Chain A
C-alpha cells in the first residue's frame, strides 16, 4: 500500500490532474466521476467499482476524449498499471470476502431435477415458480436468488402436489361405492321406472363413473332383473376399464345380484352394463317383449392394492415397512394399550422410513433427532384420524419446504445438526457438500448413489476420484442439463423465447424454426463436450447439426426429416457458434440486423471484453441520422464513430458486427439487406487485420484472439460452477486453470476437471487441510 501511495505521489497525481482534472473535478464532475479528489490508494479502496470503470475507459482509449487531447502512451501505460495494481490490492484486502458463494436456493431447473431424482416423479412442479433472477449472466447465483412470499406459497403448494404424487394416501383405505339408477350416466335404450330401475326396452346401456383409489381386484355387483321372451334369456354385457369383462344371462323378473370380480386400474373408471339382445315379437305366443332392468352398480375393492402400480416412493415405503414389520410384530394386548402401542409404532415406523428419505433430500446424513421432528408430523396426523399414508405426506411436505432441502447448505453449517452424528459421518459432511457441488454443476441435480457412496467413504475429495467422477458425469445423459443451463445462459440462447414470445411476433420465425435454432447450438455444444474437443472448436469447427427445417433455412441440400444430423460446413462461409442462426437471431432487432449488437455480443461472450458503457447523454447517432437520412446504417455508424469518444469501442464492436452482415436477422444467407441494398460483409479490426465475411473473421478470432476466448469461457464456467461472480481475487486461480488446460490443448473435459479440482470449487465444501 505504501508503495502504491509512493507511486501515486511520484507520477500518477500529475498524470491524473493534467489529463482528467479539467472535466472530472469537484461537484459538477462529468458523469459524476470526480478524480480531482483522488489522493491516495485509499480512494481506490473506498470505491473500487468506480475505478474499475475509470480503468476500463482509459484502457479502451475512450478517455480522455480525442477532441480534448490524448493521454501519452507512456502515461497511459503507467496509469493503467498503477490502477490495476491498486484494484488488485483493494480486492485482496477487501473485508467483503467474496470467496465463498452466498447461501443459495435451488433454482427452478435444479428443483425439478432434484424432485425427479429424489422421488421418481416427473412433472416439473417448478414451471409455475417465479423466474429466477439472473446475476453475472447465470441464474444460479446465490447473491441474486431471492425467496419472496410468493416463492414460499409455491414451495408449499408444490410440496403438497409432490407428496400426493409420491404417496397414495387412499391406497389402503377400504373402498366401496354404490351407484343407484338415478345416478347412472350415459344411459340409453330406456328410462327410469317407478321402482328405481333403469328399464331398457331396447338395446342400450347404463354406466356408473367411479374414481378408484388404487389398482387392485374389485368386486362389481350389479342389481338387475329382466322380462324374458323369445328363445334366450336377456343378456347383460359388463364393461369396465374399457374392456368387456363378462356377458351374463339375466333370467328372473325378480331383482338379483350379479357379481363379477376383475382387476381395475386406479383413477376414473366407467362401469357399463349393456342390454345387447332386445327381442320383440308381437306375433309370439306368450312373452312377446324381452327387457333388461338395472337397479344399481356397486364397486368394492376386494383384493390387496397392486403394489407395483403404486408410485415408486410409495413402493419403497411398503418394502421398508415389510422389513420392519417382520422385526417388530408384537403380541396382542388390551384395546387401550394396543392403541397406545400402535401410536408408538406409527411414530417409530415414520422415523425409520423418513431417515433415509431426509438424508437423500438434504443430500447428507441426518441425525436421529433431526428426523424425529419430521416424523412427529406424521404421527400427529394419524392421532387426529388421518391415514398413515396421509401422515407421511405431511412429513414429506415438511422435508420439501425445509431450508435444508431448498438451499445448498454447505460445509460447517451442516455440522451442528450432525452433533448426534458420529465419527465418519460427521467427518464426511464436507464430502457430501462436495458431492452436491459437483452434481449441481454438471447435472443440475442431486448426487446419485455413487457420489453419495464416495462421500460416505470420504474418498470424493481425492483428485483422482474427482477426475474419474467428472468423466463419468459428463458422459452421463444427465449432463444434458449442463448444456441446457450453462450453454443456454452463457450464449444467451434462452433469449430466443424472449425476443419472440409468439409465433407471429417476428416475421418468418415460427416455433419450429426457433426450437431448431436452439437445438442446433445445443447439439453442437454437446458434441464438443461429449467428444472432448478442444474448446476452440466452439469457434471454428466446420461442422454443425441441422434438421430439414434448419437446412432449408440455411439453404443446405440433402437433409431430410425432423431429426438432427451432423453435417460438414467446409463448402460454406459458416463455422462454429458465431454463424449459427440462434446467436445471429438473438443479436438482431426483430426486422433488421444490428452489427453493433452482434459485435457487442462477441466482445462480451466470446472475448470477455465487454466494452465500457457509453457516456451519458451521447446519442449523436441521432444527429448523424438527421443530417444524413439516406445513408445506410453502416455508414451512419461510421460517421458516428468519427466523433471521438465513441470510436474507441465502436471501431472494434461495429467492425466485428459487419463481418456477419452476410447473414440476415434470422441468420439466413443474404446478399441484400432489409431495404434492398447490397450487403458488405467486410471489415477491419483496430489491430489491422481485415476480412471479408464471417469465415475470415472467425479465423482471425480463433487464431489471434484464442487466449482471450479460452479465458472468457473459463471465467463463465467458473461463475456457473461456483454460483457467484468471479472477481479480481480469482485471477490467480483462473491463470492456474488455464496454464494446466493449455497442456491439453484446452480440451473440454480437462478444463472442467481443472475447475472441479481448483481451490475455490473445493473451498466452500472443504475446510483447510483437505484442500488441494
Chain B
C-alpha cells in the first residue's frame, strides 16, 4: 500500500537545516582578568556555599553539649566523630527558634520543628487551607544569588512526605516534611532519589549521550515554556484570588525552568569528576542512602552546580527504627523517653549515627582541594534541629553546629555561648552576608550574630 502523505513528509525532511551550535569558549577570559587586575582579587576567589541539614526529634542534650567555652572546649560524647574536624567547625549554645513554641497554637511541636527551622516564623495551624509560614533562609539566599549557578538551590531528603492521615496535631504534612519554603505558602519539594538528584545536576544519561541534539531540544523546550507561560497568563486573568496564588506558583516554576535552561545553554559543559559513580536509585540501607545524598551535595559544590543546599535526614517526628544500631523501636516513640535509661541510650546512639554520617560528609568536603584550601573552607554547613530536648519539645538551646570556614571569615574551632533565646536566624543572616546576599531580616532574625570572627 502506498501512502502519498508519507512521501510528502519525507520530502519535507529533506529541507532540514542543522542548527549551528554557539561557539563554546574554552576559557572564561573575563574571570582571569578580574582575578589579576581588579581590587576584587582580594575577595575570596572561590564561591561561597551554604548547606542546611536537619535531623528530627531533637537530641540527648547532655551528651551533645560540649564542655567549656571558646577555644577550650571538649566535645560531648555524641560528637566524638567530629574530633578530627575540630578546627573547621563551631558549636553553639543558647540559640533558639521561638516560633517553634506553641505561642497559643497548642501541640504540634514536630510540625513546627521542621517549618520553623530555616524560617524563624510561626506556622499557621491548618491542615489544609491557608498554609503559611515564612520564606526560609536558603530560599531567600537562592532568590538573590541562585542565578549564578545552574541550579539556584537543591533540596534533598531521604523520605517522601507522609501521604496519608494528618501529620502532627492539626498541622498539614507540608509543615513537617519541608524545611525549605520559597514563599510563605510554597514549600520546595525535596528529591529523595540519588539517581534523580544526579540527573537534575547533569542531565539524564540519555541526555548526556546525545549532547549534540541538545541545543535544538533546549530551544524547543524554551518555546514550549513560552507558550504555556502565555496560556497561563491568560488563564490567570480569569481566576479568583486564591486560584491565582496557585497559578502563580506554577508560573514561577515555569520562569525558573526557563532561566535554568538558558543557564545550561550559556554555560560550558560540566566536567563530571572521573571518580564519580552515577548513583542507581534509592538504596535500601539507610546509612548508604544518607551518604549518597551527602556525596551528591559535595559533588554539587565541587562542580559549582549550586551553592545552596538543604537536606532533611528524615521528616520531622520520624518514627524510623534503626535495626542496624540495635534500635528496634521508633525514633519518635522513644524520643519521649520519660527518663528511661534504655531509651536515652538508644536515642544517643541515633544521634551519634547521624553525627558520624555528617562527619564523613565534612571529611569528604575537606578532601576536595580548592585554591589554597578545600571546599569545606569555602562552605558554611549548618547541622541541627529546632527541637533540643525531644522528650519535652524544647525549642531553645538548640543543637546547632556550623562547619566550614566561610572562606576564612569565620574563626572556627570554638564553642560559642549566647544568651538564652538568641534567634537562630541571626546566625543565618551572618551566613547570607558571607554568601554575598543583602538580607536585612529574616523571620525573627533582625541582627547578626556577634563574635563569629574572633574570640568573644
A binds B: yes
Chain A residues close to B by CB (< 8 Å): 31-33, 49-50, 53, 96, 98, 100, 102-105, 128, 130-137, 139, 141-153, 156-157, 172-174, 304, 321-322, 325, 329, 339, 342, 345-346, 373-374, 376-377, 380-382, 384-388, 394, 397-398, 401-404, 406-407, 409, 412-413, 415-417, 488-489, 492-495, 498-499, 501-502, 504-507, 589-591, 604, 613-617, 619, 621-622, 625-626, 724-725
Chain B residues close to A by CB (< 8 Å): 1, 3-6, 8-13, 15-19, 102-108, 125-131, 152, 155, 159-167, 169-170, 172-174, 177, 182, 185-191, 193, 196, 200, 204, 216, 220-221, 223-225, 227-228, 230-232, 234-235, 238-240, 242-243, 246-247, 249-250, 252-254, 256-257, 260, 284, 286, 319-321, 323, 328-330, 333, 336, 338-340, 391-392
User: What chain A residues lie within 8 Å of B188 (beta carbons)?
Assistant: 148-150
Contact A53 B106 (CB under 8 A): yes
Closest chain-A Cβ to B348's Cβ sits at a distance in Å of: 18
Cα distance A445–B10 in the bound complex, in angstroms: 37
Give the residue of B15, B185, B234, B257 whose beta carbon is less than 8 angstroms from that of A385: B15
Cα distance A488–B163 in the bound complex, in angstroms: 10
Cα distance A478–B106 in the bound complex, in angstroms: 42
Contact A398 B228 (CB under 8 A): yes
Q: Given A128-B196, A156-B257, A397-B224, verify A173-B13 contact (CB < 8 Å).
A: yes
Cα distance A573–B190 in the bound complex, in angstroms: 44
Contact A724 B167 (CB under 8 A): no
Taking CB as reference atom, which chain B residue is nearest A142? Answer: B246
Complex A-B: 27 CB contacts under 8 Å = A104-B246, A134-B161, A135-B126, A135-B131, A135-B174, A141-B128, A147-B249, A148-B188, A150-B200, A152-B257, A172-B6, A172-B10, A304-B3, A381-B220, A386-B216, A387-B12, A401-B224, A492-B164, A495-B162, A495-B164, A498-B162, A504-B323, A506-B321, A590-B333, A591-B329, A604-B166, A616-B102
Taking CB as reference atom, which chain B residue is nearest A496? Answer: B164
Cα distance A499–B13 in the bound complex, in angstroms: 55
Contact A625 B338 (CB under 8 A): yes
Instruction: Name which of B16, B106, B167 has the most chain A CB atoms within 10 A of its CB.
Output: B106
Contact B220 A377 (CB under 8 A): yes
User: What chain B residues lie within 8 Å of A133 (beta carbons)?
Assistant: 161, 172-174, 177, 187
Taking CB as reference atom, which chain B residue is nearest A171? Answer: B6
User: What chain A residues lie within 8 Å of B391 (beta carbons)?
Assistant: 619, 622
Q: Given A412-B238, A589-B329, verify A613-B340 contact (CB < 8 Å).
A: no
Closest chain-A Cβ to B133's Cβ sits at a distance in Å of: 13
Taking CB as reference atom, which chain A residue is nearest B219? Answer: A384
Closest chain-B Cβ to A241's Cβ sits at a distance in Å of: 23
Cα distance A264–B113 in the bound complex, in angstroms: 60
User: What chain A residues lie within 8 Å of B323 (beta carbons)?
Assistant: 504-505
User: What chain B residues lie within 8 Å of A150 (beta carbons)?
Assistant: 155, 188-191, 200
Contact A725 B127 (CB under 8 A): yes
Contact A403 B228 (CB under 8 A): yes
Cα distance A286–B170 in the bound complex, in angstroms: 96
Q: Given A50-B104, A152-B254, A152-B256, verify A130-B191 contact (CB < 8 Å).
A: yes
Closest chain-B Cβ to A639's Cβ sits at a distance in Å of: 13
Contact A505 B104 (CB under 8 A): no
Closest chain-A Cβ to B151's Cβ sits at a distance in Å of: 9
Contact B108 A102 (CB under 8 A): no
Give the residue of B187, B223, B247, B254 whose beta carbon is less than 8 angstroms from that of A103: B247
Taking CB as reference atom, which chain B residue is nearest A53? Answer: B106
Contact B223 A380 (CB under 8 A): yes
User: What chain B residues lie within 8 Å of A398 (beta carbons)?
Assistant: 224, 227-228
Contact B253 A135 (CB under 8 A): no
Closest chain-A Cβ to B205's Cβ sits at a distance in Å of: 13
Instruction: Name which of B103, B177, B320 has the most chain A CB atoms within 10 A of its CB.
Output: B320
Give the residue of A53, A321, A384, A590 whose beta carbon is less than 8 angstroms from that of B329: A590
Cα distance A452–B217 in the bound complex, in angstroms: 35
User: What chain A residues lie within 8 Å of B129 (beta carbons)?
Assistant: 96, 98, 102, 135, 143, 724-725
Extra contacts, 20 of them, besides A32-B102, A136-B128 (Cβ < 8 A), are A31-B102, A103-B243, A128-B193, A130-B191, A131-B189, A144-B128, A152-B250, A152-B253, A157-B204, A304-B3, A374-B227, A388-B13, A397-B224, A398-B227, A495-B165, A502-B286, A591-B328, A622-B336, A626-B338, A724-B129
